[in-house]
Structure 1
Amino acid sequence: MSVELTASQALGLWHQVSLQQVQEDKRDLTLRQMAILLQIYLVPPPHTVRGLAATLGVTKPVITRALDTMGEMGLVDRVRDERDRRSVIVKRTVGGALFLEKLGDLIIDQGRRLGY
């Protein structure tokens, strides 16, 4: 199934989803944090700080700061790679999976309300 949206319709959907997300969920993720979270959950693992930095085109400290915040929110977890102790593996959590499942449902619901 394919949905064709104009740029205005796509932005309207994003706007409605963003508004409802802010109203219903007290966690305030930045666009960068959301991109990292989606990368971790939608792209098969493993995920490393180094790999995420390369994918997003930012430095490792930028990823680390984002992961610190997201870890405090229970959305991701980090562990040392047992094969390479210098590397940090970023893991999914149940809390993160539930957050994104709810967000996905919200996007579907808002799309339907807007008639898409």
Structure 2
Amino acid sequence: MPVELTATEALGLWHRVALEQVRGDGPDLTLRQMAILLHIYLVPPPHTVRGLAAVLGVTKPVITRALDTMGEIGLVERVRDERDRRNVVIKRTVAGALYLEKLGDLIMLEGRGPGAVREHDKDTG
């Protein structure tokens, strides 16, 4: 079901989610890293460095740097494609799936309005 938001409401939601992300103890991803991570988890595989670069309209080194950071924190893994050793295939991880599940929960909570996360934390804490 589509959600109807004004531009100001949409920006407010994004702002609240970003603030909670920064305040939290999880990784602080750049917008580019987040776009890559969401693509890897929301679009069916396989995913390659070359393919991600084409989708995002950036160079392969840009993708590689982002994947380096996300790999260090366990959100994705890279493995050589056994069929074509020139390709690097990006794999999902349990940690990455959990990170995005928590992010999805956060977005849903913040979508309920300002202060919803803090109210939820009081109720569950």
- With the shorter chain as reference, the TM-score category is over 0.9
- State the one-letter code of the partner of 2:99: F
Instruction: Give CA-to-partner distance per residue, 1:9-57, whole Å, 9 cap, x none.
Output: 0000000000001101341110000000000000000000000000000
What corresponds to 1:35 in structure 2? 35
Deviation at 1:2, TM superposition (A): 2.1
Greater RCO (CA < 8 Å, at least 6 residues apart): 1
Provide the C-alpha distance between the structure 1 equivalents of 2:2 and 2:84, rounded to a whole number of angstroms.
43
- State the one-letter code of the partner of 2:5: L
Provide the C-alpha distance between the structure 1 equivalents of 2:57 and 2:3, rounded to a whole number of angstroms.
30
Provide the C-alpha distance between the structure 2 equivalents of 1:25 and 1:86, rounded to a whole number of angstroms.
37
Q: 2:107 is paired with a residue of what secondary structure?
A: helix
Correspondence 1:21-60 to 2 at 5 A: 21-60=21-60
Deviation at 1:113, TM superposition (A): 2.7
- State the one-letter code of the partner of 1:12: G
Gaps of 5+ in 2: 115-125
Gaps of 5+ in 1: none
Q: 1:99 is paired with a residue of what secondary structure?
A: helix
Correspondence 1:10-29 to 2 at 5 A: 10-29=10-29
Misfit runs of 4+, over 2 Å: none
What corresponds to 2:113 in structure 1? 113
TM-score (norm 1): 0.96
Provide the C-alpha distance between the structure 1 equivalents of 2:48 and 2:31, rounded to a whole number of angstroms.
19
Are the structure 2 counterparts of residues 63 and 43 from structure 1 closer, same or farther at C-alpha, using a change threshold of 3 Å?
same
Instruction: Give CA-to-partner distance per residue, 1:44-80, whole Å, 9 cap, x none.
Output: 0000000000000000000000000000010000000
Percent of paired sites with the same residue: 79
Residues paired across the two proteins, number: 115
